[in-house]
Amino acid sequence: MVSAVLAQAQMAVREVNAVAFGCGPGSFTGLRIACGVAQGLAAGAGIQVVAVGSLLAIAQASRSAHVFAALDARMGEIYCAAYQANGQQFDVIAPPQLCSSEQAPQLPPGNWRGAGSGFAAYPDRLAARYADRIRAVDPDLHPRAHEVAILGAHMLRAGLGTRPEDAHPLYLRDHVALTVAERRMRAQSAKEDR
């Protein structure tokens, strides 16, 4: 795929200024592969790497001034962050974090847009949490290469490129699976909440 894109642009890897990759949060395996491929391409070509957050890419795709991006993190949790557009970049209002939908960060007043699969996974909980803030929701937005490339170019111009060996994925979860006992406890807790 990389060769096809370079051929279409009539460029060689060495003519590229940097390689941008989606650093997460997200699937552990996917993040490691993305980072490894970016590092390999950049190291071989002697160029920089730019790590672009998945939630930031969703904010870019939303084309909104105030965005609360949320991805389904499974296990009853979301990866989320809040951003405010500032020219061609975004100011971070709430940094990327892992939490339950009920513990998602408070948002300042404004006309916020909700974006990402977290809104498909927990629509009622997030609607209740942000009833006075979020005016529109797009649960189908997800990080795409297009937004990663746009943000990567802005970040590179801002001096946020790094050496390939210094690039790394953004992991927000250390605990990746529930034990049988934890699943039972969550199921019991859910029954009690009803």
**DSSP per-residue codes, 64-77:** -SEEEEEEEEETTE
Range of the domain at 127: 2-189
Amino acid at residue number 140: D
Distance between CA 87 and CA 151 in Å, rounded? Answer: 12
What pTM did the predictor assign? 0.88
Phi, psi (5° rounding) for residue 32? Answer: -65, -40
pLDDT of residue 179: 66
Q: List 18's β-bridge partners, or say none.
A: 48
pLDDT of residue 125: 96
Mean pLDDT split into 10-residue runs, the chain, 194 residues: 93 93 94 97 97 98 97 95 94 97 95 98 96 96 96 96 97 69 71 66
CATH number at residue 117: 3.30.420.40
Number of continuous H segments (helices) and E segments (strands) in the chain: 7, 7
Residue 135 lies in a domain: yes
Residue 194 lies in a domain: no
pLDDT of residue 181: 76
Residue 108 lies in a domain: yes
Given a contact cutoff of 8 angstroms between Cβ atoms, the answer to whether 130 and 107 are in contact is yes
pLDDT of residue 113: 98
Distance between CA 20 and CA 153 in Å, rounded? Answer: 8
pLDDT of residue 187: 72
Residue 8 lies in a domain: yes
pLDDT of residue 178: 56
Tell me, rounded to whole angstroms, the distance of Cα 136 from its chain centroid: 19
